[in-house]
Amino acid sequence: MLASKRILLIIGGGIAAYKSLDLIRRLRERGAEVTVVLTKAAEEFVTPLSVSALAGTKVYRDLFDLTDEAEMGHIQLSRSADLVVVAPATADLMGKMASGLANDLASTLLMATDTPVLLAPAMNVRMWQHPATQRNRATLAADGIAFFGPNDGDMACGEYGPGRMSEPLEILAAVEAHFAEGPLRGKRILVTSGPTHEPIDPVRYIANRSSGAQGTAVARALAELGAHVIFVTGPADVPPPAGVEVVPVQSAREMADAVQAALPVDGGVFAAAVADWRVVSASDRKLKKSKDGLPVLELAENPDILKTVSRMEQGRPGLVVGFAAETNDVIENATAKRLRKGCDWIVANDVSPATGIMGGAENAVILISDAGAEEWPRMSKSDVAAQLADRIAAKMSG
């Protein structure tokens, strides 16, 4: 619940502004007081009348509206909120924020505020991927601005890719997570989960038996302790948990890119069963049976995501946790893996078919750290997740 929380919602000028109308309703349903600022461009997409009807208050539009200055100056407006949400955050607004421009009400409020700011970007895929936008994103993240999304998907402009604003319920979950009490409140934690699919041709792929159950449970447990979780998931059998930022991917290389895009983070849990190899030149046409013999699939090694993050020289997350699925000599193999990858902890488990762990509801893990190996009793995957989240919280706040 968001009872009596004061949210200042800045709506930028993009087609996704229509979703912000629903966001206002959802926030108010949960008890939040919502004050809305519209940029000039936003007024091309939603009307001040519909916004104020939904918000139940006056809408703020102009920096030089003297009545507003008499009622509530822009400085006070920027500081009277518990959280500032910018949705949609356009490329233009991000650019202004990153370079410290303040030439209208929205950008002035964003410079004047001392309140935490959450951005939900929305723009064309190429604009999102443009080096200038990515530079601005990194600058703003380093300034302590939180991001939520964008999601992958079909765009109003007919293209496909990252750039869609997160759905109102997802943004709502992020707002609730921001206010959640818990030892991980204010921490940004990345979780990878699920298998990856490595394409052979448009209809066939290489995969593994990971269901994503353990990674999903870890993400849920961390969010319950108040963390902002960025959940990068391959095609899993189980649905993603509520209250986390979901980044769906297919292949290992997509997962590596999504992980890079999520940085910087305070911690990372790499529970995904990433395929070690991909097919070098996946065919863009379905391979056919041929009298000339069998197709030969040449394999290349995938990037090792855990190792790359663990060995970052700058901006390495404070705690990096890997998983090790082993079928024999679990402690020896996992201990060597911890050193090889350079991560802080390894959660090791025996996935021999007889254990029923891969794809099952239970897990029996050994936590390997610089203090040695600690065997946990067999328990449900959600209990393993809760215990691991508690340990992560203790480490991060210690």
Among all residues, which ones are annotated catalytic? 157
CB of 51: closest distance to ligand C5P in angstroms? Answer: 44
Tokens encoding 164: 């869609």
Tokens encoding 83: 């959280």
**Burial class of 397 by CB neighbour count within 10 A (0 to 12, 13 to 18, 19+):** exposed
Binding mask 36-75 for ligand C5P (x = CB under 6 A): ----------------------------------------
Spatial distance between the Cα atoms of 136 and 142, rounded to a whole number of angstroms: 10
First to last CA, the chain: 29
Residue placing its CB nearer to ligand C5P in the complex, 15 or 263? 263
> What are the beta bridge partners of residue 146?
118
Give the up-direction half-sphere exposure of residue 391: CA atoms within 13 A in the CB hemisphere.
Answer: 20
- Closest CA relative to residue 188, chosen from 381, 396, 360: 396
Tokens encoding 219: 């993400």
H or E stretch covering 142: helix 131-142
Does residue 345 touch ligand C5P according to CB under 6 A?
no
Residue placing its CB nearer to ligand C5P in the complex, 227 or 324? 324
CB 94 within 8 A of CB 121: yes
Contact pick of 305, 319, 365, 396 for ligand C5P (by CB under 6 A): 305
Contact pick of 13, 241, 248, 322 for ligand C5P (by CB under 6 A): 322
Does residue 385 touch ligand C5P according to CB under 6 A?
no
Does residue 306 touch ligand C5P according to CB under 6 A?
yes
Task: Return the range that interacts with ligand C5P (CB under 6 A); candidates 62-70, 141-149, 268-276, 380-388.
Answer: 268-276
Contact pick of 151, 251, 302, 382 for ligand C5P (by CB under 6 A): 302
Does residue 252 touch ligand C5P according to CB under 6 A?
yes
Residue placing its CB nearer to ligand C5P in the complex, 241 or 322? 322
- Closest CA relative to residue 305, chosen from 192, 229, 218: 192
Residue placing its CB nearer to ligand C5P in the complex, 24 or 368? 368
CB of 321: closest distance to ligand C5P in angstroms? Answer: 8
3-state secondary structure of 88: strand
Residues that bind ligand C5P (CB under 6 A): 192, 252, 270, 272, 274, 302-306, 322-324, 337
